[in-house]
Amino acid sequence: MYDLIVIGGGPAGLTAAIYAIRKRLNVLLISEDLGGKTNYHLDLPDVESYQIIRGVEVVNKFKSELEYLDFTRLMKRVERVEKTEDSFVVYTQDGGELEARAVIVATGTRQEWLDVPGEREYLSKGLCYSALSYAPLFIDKDTVVVGEDDLALRSAAELSVVAHHVDVVGPSAAALQTPLGQKLVRAENVTILSDYRVTRVEGNGYCNTVVVKNNHGQEKKLMADGTFIEKGLRPNSQMVARLVELDAKGFIKVDSYSHTTTPGVFAAGDVTNIYAEQVLVAVGEGVKAALSAYDYLLPHL
């Protein structure tokens, strides 16, 4: 039996695992990959890497340590986690069963795709899912935001502060009634395209055009130096949906000690209901979850 199983090999899970190893816990990290979403980033012409806070230095350091310590990792997909009397069993997709006294869930989120021609081709080439990370780079640029609700409006509002122009495709009527929605409606450099949907994205090496169509079949071509798909993030929390409390959107509820509602189960990073989806936040949350798990385990060590 392990002391601790960490599920997820992104910034939160890697950091938690390395902290647990330093505390000399008998730990296993189970993940489909190492690095998580840090394996992707938005590539833009004329942007130097120092202009973006990617936070990958510490993540890459922890990743290489874990690659070296191969007995501490298992590259598998986890299906579910169940509680026994005094431990937890982690079930992997290939039928494996692994037991631990405590579990940290750090499985991140997945984005909603548009599922239109050109999207996969230009993914990370001018087309991205994280205005939170990149909006300040778009000074005097033309941008497009696609999405219905508060996430899209928040991204459009942040872009509107610096960009030359922002086209917002598909915001709902309800979202436009909010204070942020009203600000966008009034902004001179923002065009709201509520009844349009994206039909394809085009470019030349980098995405530079978003083609949209309305219900009457009218088509427009929106020119964009940067396009942000902000249709929401879906937490990868299904494996513990019966074990811990989730919020209305499926994010794992945690307190300031990374405790979930089930003692012995901790969670960290994008899969939780904490603000905000950033690498350095996930790293910090991973530290906290590992230290809290250590305190939980201490009476048994």
Task: Summarize as ranges the residues that interact with ligand FAD (CB under 6 A).
Answer: 7-13, 30-33, 36-38, 40-42, 52-55, 77-78, 106-108, 124, 128-130, 133, 236, 239, 269-270, 277-280, 282
Q: Among candidates 153, 232, 159, 229, which has minimal Cα distance to 198?
A: 229
Asked if residues 7 and 105 have their Cβ atoms less than 8 Å apart, the reply is yes
Three-state secondary-structure class, residue 118: coil
* d(C-alpha 109, C-alpha 231), whole Å: 13
Q: End-to-end distance of the chain based on CA atoms, in angstroms?
A: 13
Q: Which is nearer to ligand FAD, 81 or 210 (CB)?
A: 81
39: helix, strand or coil:
helix
| Alpha carbons 172 and 176: distance in angstroms, whole number | 6
Rounded-to-integer distance, Cα 297 and Cα 291, Å: 10
Contact in structure between 114 and 146 (CB atoms under 8 Å) = yes
What DSSP character marks residue 43? Answer: B
Whole-angstrom Cα distance, residue 90 to residue 27?
13
